[in-house]
Structure 1
Amino acid sequence: MAITRYNQHPDIFLTMTANPNWPEITSALLLHQKPIDRPDLIAHVFELKRKCLMKEIETNRVFGNKVVHVFTIEFQKRGLPHMHALLFPKGPDKIRICAQVDKLVCAEFLDPKDEPMLFETIKCCMVHGPCGARNPQAPCMENGKCTKRYPRAFAETTTMDQDGYPIYRRRNNGQVHIVRRKEVDNRDIVPYNAYLSKCFNCHINVEVCAEMRCVKYIHKYIYRGYDRTMMVLGLINKIQQYLDARYIGPPEAAWRIFGHPLLAEIPTVVRLALHLPGMHRVLFNPDESLEAIVSRAGQQMSTLTGFFCTLRFYGR
């Protein structure tokens, strides 16, 4: 929220999920092995792809001149790692009109003759479901409706709703394709950026959030933490009745063993230690003399006094 206060709202909410069929993974498998048998490969390759994705956004300015980004890493129930990222462009690159949205985000099938490889990526990775009447047993279905609000309605042009979320262009151009043995069209497409999807061949959902009203939800979503469940173990009593437990799959275990980052904020935000003058915390050895402790305490700086010294140094 400190970043948002200084840089206004984020403009891009991006989710990237590992693709177990990446050639970097499949080419390293031994005979009869499947990607799930190599969680170390999945973790390593996804971290390399994540770094490459952020470099593409930074150097090629896919979304304009980015000044800040925040990301967190989570893991699906089937184990695949995925990243949630908030991107903050600045100046003229901040999204204000629908024409900017159409340049960055697409929610339609492309012509398979013009972009055959990208078409296959969209067909394999960016189609929701299918759900609804075509598949009432889909995981996203609840009380007969899709919790993700798919299939969406056709729209000839992109518009903004009152909460700052775009209603993406989904033209009824007659294109119908078969995905997972069901017919799908533009209403089932998850919004994506064509350049990034073509580069990385995986699920990369790109959403525009161009108003302040969506800030609370977006920030809460990427910091909501891991999934939890309540379990009863053994005899029920007041002390051991419930255990707040979590499941760590092999890719997450490998990710943590390798020391890959689980979150990052660039630039970093540091909470200052607020205190009155001369009342900062001091660590001391009780065997030291009082004079030595007082002398050392007078020379130490807290994060707050260090911040003030930096301001004075730069003349602010």
Structure 2
Amino acid sequence: MALQYPLLFPYGETSYHEQIAYHNNTGRRQTNRAVEEQRLKWVRAHQNDLRIDLYNNICDTVTRGDTRASSIGKRIVLPSSHIDSPRYMIQNYQDDMALCREYDNPDLFITFTSNPRWPEIDGMLYYIEGQKAPDRPDIVARVFKQKLDELMRDIMKAHIFGKCQAGIYIIEFQKRGLPHVHMRIWLTHEYKCKSPSDIDELISAEIPSQIEDPAGYKVVTEYMLHGPCGGNNMDTPCIIDRKCSKHFPKPYYADTTIAEDGYANYRCRNNGIKVIKGKATLDNSFVVPYSRYLLLKYNAHINVEWCNRSRAIKYLFKYLNKGPDRATIVIQENLTRTGESSVETIIEMFSFDIHFSQPSVLKLSYHLPNHHTFTLHDSESIPTLLHREDTQWLSTIVIKEMMFNQWFELNKRDPNAQKLTYAKIPIHYVSNQTTKTWEPRKQWSCIGRIVITRP
């Protein structure tokens, strides 16, 4: 359709920005505008009207972006930023380690996986004849985001595990297309697990009694049993060298203990409770640690682990920020559809956050006197910017880089600031971009991280 075009950045260069240049047409029909300003103005004016429409009887993974404005009537695709690049993941890792510096090791490691059989998804598919969850990545993405936001409210605001200091998560995507989240939670000192009995109050690793707790038995046996693997089922992905790489079945433990490496061995008793899955009979040794409250509320696979004393804390955060899987592929024609969906693409089109951090981390730059640095887009040139009449672009750069200079000024007038290092300043002060000064922080929370700079 007219004025519909993709913007491709295969080499990881700067993505969409406001000064994308038009092609320099040297023929008879010369281009009047130098950059894509008119289109950008229309997008700003109608960004609330952009939506993803539901198309009945269309079974493909490319969801149409439609607009409400009849006066324009053009469909557009807004490209997302390069969020899975190695640089993005490294910066997230450094931000996460800054939280560890401030709050010590996290307390809980939680994995939350989407469930394509959620009633909200089935309810939407009821009105779309002939389609299933893999055919509608837009519906799966929306419901998953709603569930994830509710889960974070339960943890960070409702304090189901106790009062929280901080929390982060990273959204990843399974090879079959379903999204899942890895998150780390920091609890305040009074709610930290100081003994194995405290861990038992938050985490379970046993099958509930079908008679005493039928609801718990149903969700645990449906979502939290590993496998079955091994024995007559050696083709499962977890089998490496004829052994389960996830170390199932687990040993039995009469009580929860903390191993020398800092990991918890959860209570897993041989109490005779079993469940049949296919041809295999599984017991407590195949249970993935969980929170009963979360399972009953969200009806999905939610693995909860205690990790406060782990010695491999850097590895755990590198695991969170490892980025997407990479593979060598071959493109062929006339291949049969596998039914897999592209939820990752839809989540990026909806501009859902892939990385969440609370509190936020402010990157603090520094420089030699009169050696300010700033970044230009690929399409911008220094001579052009220096001769621009407006100075808005320059003031933005100066405000960002002046935080370091204004820190010295803050120390001259505020004795309390003299007691803090540069990295501690954002906890107690906020940079006012209007007055170009550091002012006492009145709300929200933030921690600072000094960026890595070449010598």
TM-score, with structure 2 as normaliser: 0.61
Alignment match of 2:290 (pick from 176, 180, 192) = 192
| Aligned-residue offset at 1:308 | 5.4
1:165 aligns with 2:263: yes
Secondary structure at 2:184 match in 1: strand
Distance 1:306 1:79, change over 3 A: farther
CA distance in 2, matches of 1:161, 1:118: 28
Where in structure 2 are the equivalents of 1:100-179 lying within 5 Å?
100-179=198-277
Contact 2:263 2:310 in 1 (8 A): no
Distance in 1 separating the partners of 2:341 and 2:410: 44
Which residue matches 2:368? 276
Deviates more, 1:80-89 or 1:59-68: 59-68
Unaligned runs of 5+ in 1: 235-247
Alignment CA distance shift 1:181-1:307 (3 Å): farther
Residue in structure 1 matching 2:353, options 249, 257, 261: 261
Counterparts in 2 of 1:313 and 1:232: CA distance versus 1, 3 Å: farther
What does residue 170 of structure 2 align with?
72
* Aligned with residue 99 of structure 1, among 191, 197, 209: 197
Query: How far apart are the structure 2 equivalents of 1:36 and 1:28?
Result: 13
Max radius of gyration: which structure? 2
- Separation in 1 of the partners of 2:266 and 2:165? 25
Q: CA deviation at 1:41?
A: 0.9
Question: Which moves more between the two structures, 50-59 or 211-220?
Answer: 211-220
Are 1:8 and 2:109 counterparts? Answer: no
Q: What SS does the corresponding residue of 1:16 show, helix, strand or coil?
A: strand
2:321 corresponds in structure 1 to 223
Q: How far off is 1:113 after superposition?
A: 2.3
Q: Which has the higher contact order (CA 8 A, sep 6+)?
A: 1
Q: Distance in 2 between matches of 1:212 and 1:122?
A: 26
Question: What is the rounded CA distance, in whole Å, between the counterparts of 1:207 and 1:120 in structure 2?
Answer: 21
Q: Does 1:208 align with 2:208?
A: no
> Offset of 1:212 from its aligned partner?
4.6
Amino acid in the other structure paired with 2:307: C
Query: Cα 1:23–1:8, aligned 2, differ >3 Å: closer, same or farther?
Result: same
Counterpart CA distance in 1 for 2:191 and 2:410 is 31
Q: Output the TM-score relative to the length of structure 1.
A: 0.87
- Give the one of 380, 387, 397 matched to 1:287: 387
Further displaced range: 115-124 or 82-91: 115-124
Q: Considering only aligned residues, what root-mean-square deviation do their CA atoms show, in Å?
A: 2.7
Deviations 1:78-109 (A, max 9, x none): 11110000001121212221111101100000
Residue 23 of structure 1 pairs with residue 119 of structure 2: yes
Give deviations 1:192-222, integer Å, cap 9, x for gaps: 0011111101000001102151311210111
1:104-162 per-residue CA deviation (whole Å, 9 max, x = no partner) reads 10000011223322321111111100112252222110111000000101111001111
The amino acid that maps onto 2:405 is T
SS in 1 for 2:102: helix
Q: CA deviation at 1:300?
A: 4.9
What percent of counterpart residues are identical?
36
Distance 1:36 1:280, change over 3 A: same
Task: List, as ranges, runs of 4+ consecutive aligned residues in structure 1 with deviation greater than 3 Å.
Answer: 231-234, 282-289, 305-315
The whole-number CA distance in structure 2 between the counterparts of 1:301 and 1:251 is 35
Work out the number of aligned pairs and report it: 299
